[in-house]
């Protein structure tokens, strides 16, 4: 038999597989929108710091393939828009399938905890095996171009609330960012939700705490953004490195918009109804209600508007007087950076305990209000807008403490310094 003549594309794949040494692997929680976008910005900043220091080196950024296709468009058309790093962004379906198996598919958070307790270790072993033998990824802007990602090729991991580890032996620099250590959030779950006093549920919680500590134990840095889930309890964990809000301060928007609120509709399907149900009361009270194009069902009477357009955040527009939604921290930080309050709703016992912690911090710091059943939107808005001076004061405190409000850049500088051995 004659030797197979390789096509040019196949040669390129082989070269990539065996020559690449500088991969930044991005490992984030699968739920919602914020985790992947914040982790992407972290990787983007680190990429450019490395390229500035070593222009001749080729660095690659590998993500999990998002379960929701629109997130690929956001990465391409917003996060990496007009950025040469876009040519170095890859997505791994195999990595994505493993991580996305922990997505919210139930309205009861207990089901997710049971999934983590039962399956996290086994799926992590599959991920490590994939990385040992070559995990497939394709280029975001040229999907026909493929490469195999191997453990030996990894420069570092950047993460946001990760569930799986890409290394377990301390051989890889791993830069973990979070809104609160998962082990700590679960440890204090019964403080905010009596359901977690149940003996059987506590067994599941303790198993998840053990799994979470395994993930946390191998990290180079555990970077916790401020404010975060447990800020109301005080920043007391000596293993945590505190950083500013894990978001970029928005560039100012000068677009003319009707005064109103932005409905920050979660990427978690099971909680979208609670958020969308808040639209009509605010419209009936005379406020314009904006919502993201990713919510394909649309909102009658609402105004479809992307949260970020050409790098400009809608929350920097003075017409957006408040944000409304589920209290994930990315959703809170966005209006907070503009001095605007966040309005959320009441959470039941089936919700993620993080949300219950988040509300405690939100109310203690005066960053927003909880709209309860029967509350009048105008009264809620009056209470929320009265918090603006307190929000500005808090931003000033953070600026003085960290010297910046850009938590993305702050985290990337920490990671870059560690990689340089400084």
Percent of the chain with pLDDT over 90: 76
> What is the pLDDT of the chain when averaged over all its residues?
91
- Tally the domains of the chain: 2
> The domain that contains 166 carries what CATH number?
3.40.50
Same domain, 381 and 413: no
3-state secondary structure of 367: coil
**Residue range 181-227, pLDDT digits in tens:** 999 999 999 999 999 999 999 999 999 999 999 999 999 999 999 99
Given this model, what pLDDT does residue 8 score? 57
Same domain, 211 and 333: no
Same domain, 73 and 219: yes
> The domain that contains 330 carries what CATH number?
3.40.50.2000
* 106 in any annotated domain: yes
* 251 in any annotated domain: no
Average pLDDT over residues 108-125: 96
Band (pLDDT 50/70/90 cuts) for residue 125 is very high
CA 340 from centre of chain: 21
Residues in Cβ contact with 320 at an 8 Å cutoff, skipping those fewer than 6 apart: 257, 260, 261, 262, 290, 314, 335, 338, 340
Same domain, 189 and 52: yes
State the residue range of the domain holding 200.
8-245+406-420
Same domain, 236 and 288: no
Q: Residue 2 pLDDT more than 60? A: no
| Partners of residue 309 on adjacent β-strands | 312
Same domain, 274 and 207: no
Same domain, 19 and 153: yes
pTM summary value: 0.91
Given this model, what pLDDT does residue 19 score? 54
d(CA 345, CA 244): 25
* 1 in any annotated domain: no
* 163 in any annotated domain: yes
Same domain, 193 and 176: yes
* 265 in any annotated domain: yes
**Residue range 76-109, pLDDT digits in tens:** 998 999 999 999 999 999 999 999 999 877 889 9
* 146 in any annotated domain: yes
Band (pLDDT 50/70/90 cuts) for residue 18 is very low
The number of residues in the chain equals: 422
**Residue range 362-408, pLDDT digits in tens:** 999 999 999 998 999 999 999 999 999 999 999 999 999 999 999 99
Given this model, what pLDDT does residue 1 score? 37
Same domain, 170 and 319: no
Band (pLDDT 50/70/90 cuts) for residue 235 is low
Top pLDDT among 245 and 273 is at 245
Given this model, what pLDDT does residue 4 score? 45
3-state secondary structure of 323: strand
Same domain, 360 and 384: yes
Same domain, 86 and 155: yes
* 2 in any annotated domain: no
d(CA 411, CA 39): 10
On whether the CB atoms of residues 120 and 129 are closer than 8 A, the answer is no
Same domain, 235 and 374: no
């Amino acid at each position: 038999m004659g030797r197979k003549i390789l096509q040019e594309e196949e040669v390129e794949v082989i070269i990539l597989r065996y020559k690449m040494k500088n991969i930044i692997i991005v490992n984030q929680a699968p739920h919602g929108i914020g985790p992947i976008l914040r982790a992407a910005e972290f990787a983007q900043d680190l990429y450019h710091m490395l390229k500035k220091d070593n222009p001749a080196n080729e660095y690659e950024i590998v993500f999990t393939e998002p379960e929701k296709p629109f997130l690929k468009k956001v990465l391409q058309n917003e996060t990496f828009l007009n950025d040469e790093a876009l040519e170095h962004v890859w997505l791994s379906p195999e990595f994505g399938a493993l991580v996305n198996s922990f997505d919210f598919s139930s309205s009861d958070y207990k089901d997710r905890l049971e999934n983590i307790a039962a399956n996290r270790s086994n799926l992590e072993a599959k991920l490590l095996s994939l990385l040992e033998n070559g995990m497939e990824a394709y280029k975001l802007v040229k999907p026909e171009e493929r490469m195999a990602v191997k453990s030996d090729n990894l420069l570092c991991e950047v993460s946001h609330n990760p569930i799986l580890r890409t290394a377990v032996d301390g051989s890889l620099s791993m830069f973990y960012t979070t809104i609160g250590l998962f082990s700590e959030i679960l440890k204090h779950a019964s403080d905010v939700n009596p359901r977690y006093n149940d003996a059987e549920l506590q067994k599941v919680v303790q198993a998840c705490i053990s799994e979470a500590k395994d993930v946390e134990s191998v990290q180079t840095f555990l970077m916790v953004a401020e404010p975060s889930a447990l800020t109301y309890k005080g920043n007391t964990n000596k293993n945590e490195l505190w950083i500013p809000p894990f978001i970029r301060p928005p560039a100012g928007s000068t677009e003319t918009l009707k005064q109103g609120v932005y409905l920050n509709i979660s990427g978690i399907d099971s909680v979208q109804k609670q958020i969308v149900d808040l639209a009509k009361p605010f419209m009936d009270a005379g406020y314009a209600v904006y919502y993201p194009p990713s919510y394909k069902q649309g909102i009658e009477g609402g105004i479809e508007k992307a949260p970020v357009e050409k790098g400009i955040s809608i929350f920097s527009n003075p017409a957006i007087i408040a944000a409304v939604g589920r209290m994930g921290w990315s959703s809170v930080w966005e209006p907070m950076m503009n001095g605007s309050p966040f309005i959320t709703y009441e959470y039941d016992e089936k919700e993620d305990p993080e949300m219950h912690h988040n509300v405690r911090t939100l109310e203690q710091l005066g960053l927003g209000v909880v709209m309860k059943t029967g509350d009048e939107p105008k009264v809620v808005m009056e209470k929320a807008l009265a918090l603006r001076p307190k929000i500005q004061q808090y931003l000033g405190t953070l600026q003085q403490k960290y010297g910046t409000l850009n938590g993305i850049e702050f985290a990337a500088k920490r990671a870059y310094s560690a990689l340089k051995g400084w």
